[in-house]
Structure 1
Amino acid sequence: MLTKFILAVCISVAVSETIDCTGQHRYSATGTGYYPADDPIEGGFLDRQGHPLHTLQDFLDGKASWVSVAMDRYLHLPYGTHVCIPELNHKYHRVIPFRVVDTGSAFSHKGYGRIDICTRSQHDSYDNTINGHITLVFH
């Protein structure tokens, strides 16, 4: 019985550390949601290099291997830069790989303080965890 308990604690700690995100650079940011739409505000269906956007819900449904996010183009982050968001990992009880593949005028000169997370629909973009204070962790 004690062995099962110790094993459960070890597994719990290992999972907790993974979903808490490991990385050298942590930033406090305000998150918002956006969604693929043929609308000037939302920016269309493609990222800044013309590839289809990957939504959070598609990732959760197993239809995408990562989630598209938009950030400030003046950060000069390479296309596909990985970012970890512990608040969303905790909400969904798994590691969610986010990649910076998009930008927009709303992010100009916001630095690491603003991120837009791609969701499936307008309704999904209103999620309270996405639209609030979140932590961005970069390697």
Structure 2
Amino acid sequence: MVFSQIEFISGGSLDCSGGHRYSARGTAYYPANNALEGGFVDMRGHNLRTLQDYLDGKASYVSVAMDNRAGIPYGTAICIPEMNHKHGRNIVFKVVDTGSAFFGKGHSRIDICVRSQSLSYDSTINNHLTLVFP
């Protein structure tokens, strides 16, 4: 199933054809050892993978945080057309993290992992995003 999720992302158009679509409010977070950001690892103890590391070819996906009580399995791949268009290629996002800000939000809220605080102010991320699930 993991292969089919990656194929779903990489085989589709920048608009993320197919799948289930949800409207969400996007925000960004970054690896930092403080209460707000939550550390350097995801909810299962794996290192966070940033958008910039993915774009630099240093990561196979981008870590995102969502409501872990919404029935979204750990590692689920998501396609986000707004981010694909901004960067001119398909980006693989995976739900691997959560936090108290997401409890009860379902599919309506997503936090995308970026490299630093200054990059967390990205106007595309901090906006309305379309989440496409396989």
TM-score normalized by structure 2?
A: 0.90
Pairing 1:121–2:116 present: yes
Instruction: For 1:33, give the aligned amino acid.
Output: A
Higher radius of gyration, 1 or 2? 1
Pairing 1:103–2:98 present: yes
Tell me, which stretches of 5 or more residues in structure 2 are unaligned?
1-11
CA–CA distance in structure 1, aligned partners of residues 35 and 71 of structure 2: 23
Q: How far did 1:54 drift? A: 0.2
Matches within 5 A, 1:1-16: none
- Helix, strand or coil: the match of 1:90? helix
Q: How far did 1:19 drift? A: 0.8
- Helix, strand or coil: the match of 1:75? coil
1:47 aligned residue: 42
Instruction: For 2:112, give the aligned amino acid.
Output: I
Residue by residue over 1:67-117, the C-alpha shift from the partner in whole angstroms, topping out at 9 and shown as x without a partner, is 000000111211100100000000000000000000000001011110000
TM-score normalized by structure 1?
A: 0.87
CA–CA distance in structure 1, aligned partners of residues 27 and 45 of structure 2: 22
Give the total of aligned pairs: 124
- Helix, strand or coil: the match of 1:115? strand
CA–CA distance in structure 1, aligned partners of residues 115 and 23 of structure 2: 25
1:5 aligned residue: none
CA–CA distance in structure 2, aligned partners of residues 22 and 53 of structure 1: 27
- Helix, strand or coil: the match of 1:89? helix
Q: How far did 1:126 drift? A: 0.6
Higher helix share: 1
Q: What RMSD over aligned residues (CA atoms) do the two structures have, in Å?
A: 1.2
User: Which 4+ runs in 1 deviate beyond 6 A?
Assistant: none
Pairing 1:78–2:62 present: no
Pairing 1:31–2:33 present: no
Percent of residue pairs bearing the same amino acid type? 66
CA–CA distance in structure 1, aligned partners of residues 91 and 19 of structure 2: 18
Tell me, which stretches of 5 or more residues in structure 1 are unaligned?
1-16
Residue by residue over 1:5-48, the C-alpha shift from the partner in whole angstroms, topping out at 9 and shown as x without a partner, is xxxxxxxxxxxx61110232100000000000001110000000
